[in-house]
Chains A and B, each alone.
Chain A
Amino acid sequence: MMKYISKRLLMLIPVLLAVIFLVFSILNLVPGDTAQLLLGITASAEDIEQLNHELGLDKPFFVRFFDYIFNLIQGDLGSSYKTNIPVWDEIVARFPVTLKLSVLAISITVFIGIPVGMISAVRQYSFMDHICVVSTLTLCSIPSFWLGLMLVLLLSVKFGLLPAMGIGSLQHYVLPSITASSVTLGTVIRMTRSSMLETLRQDYMVTARAKGCSENSAIFNHALRNAMLPIVTTIGVNLGILLGGTFVIETVFTMPGLGAYIVDAIKMRDMPAVMGGIIVLATVFCLINLIVDLFYALIDPRVLESYK
């Protein structure tokens, strides 16, 4: 197991470098002069040149890239052009909000999605199954931010049950995480259903029943366990999608998360902040993929065996 983990960890390094390179090069394709943008139209040519020099923007692309990587390793993502606060500090302060929101949302998704998907598969073509299929497809078609607005209208404005904005207490996270889970719930139910439908038809199900397994044991220990691999993948991918997509939900509920930070930074063309935010999210995304792969080894001994 240790060998497997260390192998995967080593493989993460080139992936991360590639991702950082991707983000760095896209964001450095920016048309227009950053210094000009910061100083305004009236700035003199010398001022612009000096600021470019101070920001290190006059250096060649690859020099800047390696400078950035070097600073990144030391935990320095540069300072915001607008506020001069170190980007790293801002991210550390805001990332917990985004993470909490995403984890709560994925928990709701898992605790509702997997049971519903299972029931739907076990009782295929039943009334329950039909409702499930229709409602998951509808759920996949509702934009999360609109659902958020509707929940606010109904639960906060009309009935005054839950707070509509801010992050003061756990209550503040209820509406946002329900809203965020709507993004992933549909896919997880669908994946669970189709994956279970596949395993329920396998020969080993007949064997399990023939050797006297109870129906519950057959479904949980044989069908579900074998169906788990694609479900775990979907959950992992969806946690990544959530982390990358919370900026919309943070905007709806005015939460000071990392996503909202990136959006604001983009609007103000504050490039160090945009770059730092996106690179941190991308790193977390890659880490989640790694954790999902490690989970495979836990769920499926065959995966681990192939690495021995």
Chain B
Amino acid sequence: MKNNSKSIRRKSQLHIIWNKLSKNKSAVVGLIVAITLMFIAVFAGLIVNYEKEVINQNISNRFQAYSKEHILGTDMYGRDLLARIIYGARLSMYIGTVSVLFSALFGLMLGSVSAYYGGKTDNIIMRVMDILQSLPQVMLALTIVAALGQSNENIIIALSVSGIPAFTRIIRSSIISVRNMEYIEAAHSYACSDFRIILKHILPNSIGPLIVQSTMSIGRNIMNVAGLSFVGLGVRPPLPEWGAMLSEARQYMRYYPNIVIWPGIAIVVTVLAFNLLGDGLRDALDPRLRN
């Protein structure tokens, strides 16, 4: 009986959000594109042959125009451009989502501890966040890359750390807004542990802003990775990251513009999809706009 009522309530809340989201055309487009990109990222290995098409150089085949065999043509080393862009989706999505996952996880821990305990704990955590935010996010990521050196893991670390303050703040403020609700008091009165109250009672009721921030951050991080790779401080060629591809192709763009046009379009489409979805989610989750 208890389980049953719980499942009904859960479903109905998700239902409301889904109903609002599905009415928003651009958000649905964003969702579809994002899911498609996720699929492409996961199954990139089945769609294209990594060794043969993505990495293997074939100079005699370079700068091919659009054809049936190479739909977007080939780059300066004779590699299929479409195959590289497809594999680039895997890299970008991987770095983008994993770094957001880490920022969200740490932000969740720090933010909930900070908001729930308040006082000194809150003060210390928030001052540390203040210091981290006194540098622009990209600058902080750049500093961390400079310290740790260049590798895919270090870029993930850099983007994760630089994303933590924003997540911590958002989670803290949304938890503070539900902290004094009656149902938290009720949970206290039947001797719930702090951990259980945070996990079972506070978080589910303050998760909305976190979802929006995560969606937006995936897009932003994909863009930041591309930027870092473009200046040569991110993913290194010959790995098919979109920014790294642009950086490699740049010197040939005067004569073969398509090799700089398509990787850029891939970035724009991906980031736009996440932004549209994030915008739609924000509207759907905004309690002021409900009903």
Residue pair B143, A278 in contact (C-beta under 8 Å): yes
B149 and A31 contact, CB distance less than 8 A: yes
**Chain B nearest Cβ from A210, distance in angstroms:** 27
B149 touches A143 (CB 8 A): no
Is the CB of B198 closer than 8 A to any CB of chain A? Answer: no
Contact with A along B268-291 (1 / 0, CB 8 A): 100110011001000000000000
From A22, A153, A262, give the contact of B253 (CB < 8 A).
A153
- A138 CA to B29 CA, complexed, in Å: 14
* B142 at interface, CB cutoff 8 A: yes
Q: Which listed residue, A31, A274, A285, touches B135 by the CB 8 Å rule?
A: A285
CB <8 Å contact, B132 and A22: yes
A23 pairs with B142, CB closer than 8 A: no
Mark out the residues of chain B between 217 and 248 whose CB falls within 8 Å of any chain A CB in the assembled complex. Answer: 219, 223, 226-227, 230-233, 243, 246
Q: Are A262 and B142 in contact (CB under 8 A)?
A: yes
Kindly supply a per-residue 1/0 record for chain A positions 263-289, scoring 1 wherever the CB is within 8 Å of any chain B CB and 0 otherwise. 100110000001000100110011000
Interface of chain A, main secondary structure = helix
Interface: B134 (CB within 8 A): yes
Could you give, for residues 14-39 of chain A, a 1 whenever the CB lies within 8 Å of some chain B CB and a 0 otherwise?
A: 01001101110011111100000000
Interface string of A135-153 (1 = CB under 8 A from B): 0011011111110011011
Chain A's interface size range is 35 or more
Residues in A whose Cβ lies below 8 Å from that of B254:
153, 157
Residues of A within 8 A of B48 (CB): none
Given the interface pairs A137-B279, A140-B275, A281-B139, the reply to whether A149 lies near B148 with Cβ below 8 Å is no
Q: Would you call B135 and A244 a contact (CB within 8 A)? A: yes
Q: How far is the CA of A64 from the CA of B26 in the complex (A)?
A: 54
In the complex the two chains form, is A149's CB within 8 Å of B246's CB? yes
Collect the chain A residues with CB atoms within 8 Å of residue B136's CB.
240-241, 243-245, 285
In the complex the two chains form, is A141's CB within 8 Å of B268's CB?
A: yes
Q: How far is the CB of B166 from chain A (nearest CB, A)?
A: 12
- A251 at interface by CB-CB < 8 Å: yes
Which residues 157-171 of A have a CB within 8 angstroms of B? 157
B145 at the interface (CB under 8 A from A): yes
Q: Is the CB of B268 within 8 A of A143?
A: yes
- How many angstroms from the CA of A138 to the CA of B275 in the assembled complex? 9
A88 within 8 A of B: no
* Interface status of B146 (Cβ within 8 A of chain A): yes
Residues from chain A with a CB closer than 8 A to the CB of B149 are 30-31
What is the CB-to-nearest-CB distance from A156 to chain B, in angstroms, rounded to a whole number?
9
Contact yes or no, A27 B268, CB < 8 A: no
Q: A292 — which chain B residues lie within 8 A by C-beta? A: none
CB pair B135–A19 under 8 Å, yes or no, is yes
Contacting B139 at CB < 8 Å: which of A21, A152, A153, A282? A282
CB-CB under 8 A from A31, the residues of chain B are 148-149
A149 close to B260 (CB less than 8 A): yes
List chain A residues, Cβ under 8 A from B253. Answer: 149, 152-153, 157
Looking at the assembled complex, report how far the CB atom of B254 sits from the nearest CB atom of chain A, in whole angstroms. 6
- Expressed in whole angstroms, the Cα–Cα distance for A145 and B148 within the complex equals 25
Judge whether A244 and B139 touch: CB under 8 Å: yes
Is the beta-carbon distance between B143 and A23 smaller than 8 angstroms? yes
Q: How many whole Å from A151's CB to the nearest CB in chain B?
A: 12
Shortest beta-carbon distance, A165 to chain B, in Å?
A: 12
Contacts of A241 in B (CB 8 A): 136-138
Q: Hey, which chain B residues are within 8 Å of A152, CB to CB?
A: 253
B144 within 8 A of A: yes
CB-CB under 8 A from A26, the residues of chain B are 143-144, 147
**Are the CB atoms of A153 and B260 closer together than 8 Å?**
yes
Interface residues of B in 84-99 (CB under 8 A from A): none
Whether, in the assembled complex, A104 has its beta carbon less than 8 Å from a beta carbon of chain B, the answer is no
- A sample of 29 cross-chain residue pairs with beta-carbon separation below 8 angstroms, ordered by A number, consists of A18-B134, A21-B131, A27-B143, A27-B147, A28-B147, A30-B147, A137-B276, A137-B279, A141-B268, A141-B272, A143-B227, A143-B267, A143-B271, A145-B243, A145-B246, A146-B260, A149-B246, A149-B253, A152-B253, A153-B253, A241-B136, A241-B137, A244-B135, A244-B139, A251-B231, A267-B232, A278-B139, A285-B136, A286-B134
Q: Which residues on A are within 8 Å of B, measured CB to CB?
A: 15, 18-19, 21-23, 26-31, 134, 137-138, 140-146, 149-150, 152-153, 157, 240-241, 243-245, 247-248, 251, 262-263, 266-267, 274, 278, 281-282, 285-286
The 4 closest A-B pairs by CB, nearest first: A244-B136, A146-B264, A141-B272, A244-B139
